[in-house]
Structure 1
Amino acid sequence: MSNFFQTKLEYLRGVGLQRAQLLGKELGLFTYGDLIQRYPFRYLDRTQFYNIVDLHDDLPYVQVKGILRGREVIGEGPKKRMVAKVGDASGELELVWFKGVNYLEKVIKNHQEYIVFGKPTMFNGRPQMAHPELEEVSEQKPGQSFLQPVYNTSEKLKNYHRVDSKTIMRMVGDLLKIALPQVTETLSPALIEQYALLGKAAALQQIHFPQTPELLEKARFRLKFEELFYIQPKLLRQKDQRKVELAGQIFNEVPTLVHFYKEIMPFDLTGAQKRVIHEIYKD
């Protein structure tokens, strides 16, 4: 990769010096290259919609589509929370937020159709989501559904500095917009054609924001192939170096086994011992 990827993270939009220092200390991310090569460890399926009636505790993060109604703020002070309901043709889902209530009052609209994304739980026999993500259906762009990447972070970053997986996802998205034109191909056209590999830039795009499960697997294969391909010359070089630096003792004259048995050994060997000595002699 070019010198572009040695650029410090503090120069990425929305990062700044303080956050960059935290990312370096907590996650070992210092440059554009560090961030673009910090791959997700799993993905959330944003390609499937569930009916509200089918929600239960055992499901992972899911998304539903419905009309929001009944938005209200309950409680005061630390107990203040926003509660709303989203309904589709199959049932009703309760939503609750304990943080950011003042902001949510300004942006959440009654009688608006939303895509709701979060972890469903059951409360008093009814489905509920705490702190779900909301997106107006009218704002959804064509082809926007994807497998959402999940990145490792630290408890300190999440709890005290609000740098969670989604924050890192946004940072990676911003970086890819300016970084992909700087990516240079590292494998020959012959290899890419022979093994039907994705290009390096396409693989980086798809490993972070895969459009389909098939493209995600192709991106993984490409990046694994490249890593193993460049390990091979290193291993061969180390092997040659060991032959030169750690050459074993060479015996120009080796006595015959018969001489060894009769003249050197003071006792008869068992059959198994003779076989082992014979194998050593052959080597």
Structure 2
Amino acid sequence: MAYVRALKTSITELSGVGPATKAGYAELGIATYSDLLLLSPRTWEDRSEVHPLGLVQDSQMANTLVEVLSHSYFGLKSGKKRTLKIIVRDVSGLGDGRLSLLCFGRNFLERTIKVGRIYYLYGSVKDNRGELQCSQFELYPATEDGDFPKQFGRILPIYPLRGSLSQRLIRANIKAVLASVDTFAEELTATMRDRYHLMTTDQAIRAYHFPPSLEVLQKARRTLALTELFYLQLVARRHKSLVQRNAKTGPSIPTKLELKCIEGLPFSLTADQIASLKEIREDLDSEMPMNRLLQGDVGSGKTLVAWISALHVLSQGAQVAFMAPTELLARQHAESAAALLQDLGIRLAFLTGSVKNKERRLLLEAIKEGEVDIVIGTHALFSAEVAFKNLRYVIIDEQHRFGVEQRLALLEKAQVPDLLLMTATPIPRTLSLTVFGNLNVSTLKTMPAG
């Protein structure tokens, strides 16, 4: 019996996980069996019902049995730029129809997909001037009596991908991890499960990745969601009961760094930005660690408020970590920070899963020795190898895209951290209190001029 969050075995123990796959997983913040099981699918493909060619429309998924009618080529008459086209017709008995399979870069399928044979087809259909076409598809041989093979009828998870990762590999790795554990330890009480009609943790984590039906999937998602909220409440209570630090006496006033940054801006801050900075500054100087949500529409100036507030902490000799959900977004934030802060003498670093080898080792050492003031990155920031000398302030952009465990892993790298969460998704005060406990909220309603 094992807890889902206690499986610390490295993913490199899994079949097919070499250096390239490990790097892809690292970009998703995955290093252990636990990380892999807590990877949320983007969606699920329902292959449990037949969708014949005669009934599918443009951009819909075909899920049916087909017979191969012919092979042909289009494009150049000879050479590698020819593309194989396979014509198939529906033989599911639930609807007629024909489809052209466009095999870009897969001309070898002429040797494996035989004319006259029956296959199970799953693919996205496009209507091109009255001709149904499909370039992204899966084909599996039908059974000897021409029926659906075992691949039909499943509900398959679709995971986020990075690097060389593929859906097939991630599914195989997750299956291997699930098979390695006889039973997962229960994380909720029987009273909670009965009250909210939940599954056991063991049932939920297995059905979440490989559900037997959509109904079971919804129950598994509900169970894991409530489990995450349960842990979030524990984190909130723990945050509130942390040892108090020495509070700054007197009113909280902007530091010289903050004033110099604000004075150098080619525009004036909005009233909401000024008010939010005052609220954040008072939190940063209080005896209790800050736990604040900064919300506002895209373009309202949330990131600028975050950078200016970071200067308040840097003036006290501490470090700041800024985490974004994707490498592209993290890079954009790093560029904006460099434009705004480098002339002030602030030492910035950019850390994601794509930073490799010697460069990565040198960067990690600089962070550990306190030679970096602000570290900007993705999930890589909460990996075990990242250590700070004096992390005091954690800023998380688009916080809803990170799980509780991910946020907690980053917070645990500091003794008494201040936390600022940013989101463009409005969260009502009552909901924020229900979900986040003692979270305070600042809102940017006014858009900057221009």
TM-score > 0.5, shorter chain as reference: yes
What does 1:1-283 align with in structure 2 at a 5 Å threshold?
1=3, 5-24=7-26, 26-59=27-60, 61-72=61-72, 75-88=77-90, 90-102=96-108, 104-138=109-143, 140-141=148-149, 144-154=152-162, 157=163, 161=164, 163-179=165-181, 181=182, 183-241=184-242
Cα distance in structure 2, aligned partners of 1:37 and 1:220: 12
TM-score w.r.t. length of structure 1: 0.73
The answer to whether the 8 Å contact 1:9/1:15 transfers is: yes
User: Cα RMSD between the aligned structures?
Assistant: 2.9
Structure 1's 71 and 174: CA in aligned 2 closer, same or farther, altered over 3 A? farther
The answer to whether the 8 Å contact 1:83/1:97 transfers is: yes
Residue 220 (structure 1) shift: 0.8
The answer to whether the 8 Å contact 1:150/1:166 transfers is: no
Structure 1's 58 and 106: CA in aligned 2 closer, same or farther, altered over 3 A? closer
TM-score w.r.t. length of structure 2: 0.47
Structure 1's 39 and 91: CA in aligned 2 closer, same or farther, altered over 3 A? same
| Amino acid in the other structure paired with 1:149 | P
Partner deviation per Cα, 1:168-206 (whole Å, 9 max, x = no partner): 233323332324x25222223333233331111211111
Residue 22 (structure 1) shift: 3.2
Structure 1's 142 and 132: CA in aligned 2 closer, same or farther, altered over 3 A? closer
User: Which structure has the greater CA radius of gyration?
Assistant: 1
Cα distance in structure 1, aligned partners of 2:65 and 2:239: 58
The 4+ residue runs of structure 1 with deviation greater than 4 A are 72-75, 139-144, 244-247
Residue 221 (structure 1) shift: 0.9
Partner deviation per Cα, 1:127-149 (whole Å, 9 max, x = no partner): 11113100122185569512221
Partner deviation per Cα, 1:81-132 (whole Å, 9 max, x = no partner): 2221111252211112122322x23422222221211110122311111131
% of aligned pairs identical?
26
State the secondary structure of the residue aligned to 2:54.
helix
State the secondary structure of the residue aligned to 1:67.
strand
State the secondary structure of the residue aligned to 2:143.
helix
Cα distance in structure 2, aligned partners of 1:3 and 1:128: 44
Cα distance in structure 1, aligned partners of 2:39 and 2:232: 19
| Amino acid in the other structure paired with 1:63 | N
Structure 1's 142 and 67: CA in aligned 2 closer, same or farther, altered over 3 A? same
Number of equivalences = 237
Structure 2 unaligned regions, length at least 5:
248-450
| Amino acid in the other structure paired with 1:107 | T
Residue 65 (structure 1) shift: 1.8
The answer to whether the 8 Å contact 2:120/2:149 transfers is: no
Partner deviation per Cα, 1:194-232 (whole Å, 9 max, x = no partner): 333111121111111221111111001110111112332
Partner deviation per Cα, 1:137-169 (whole Å, 9 max, x = no partner): 218556951222111123xx2xxx3x2334323
The answer to whether the 8 Å contact 2:11/2:22 transfers is: yes
State the secondary structure of the residue aligned to 1:54.
coil
Structure 1 unaligned regions, length at least 5:
248-283
The answer to whether the 8 Å contact 1:43/1:149 transfers is: yes
Q: Comparing both structures, which one devotes a greater share of its residues to helix? A: 1
The answer to whether the 8 Å contact 1:46/1:62 transfers is: no
| Amino acid in the other structure paired with 2:15 | R
The answer to whether the 8 Å contact 1:45/1:62 transfers is: no
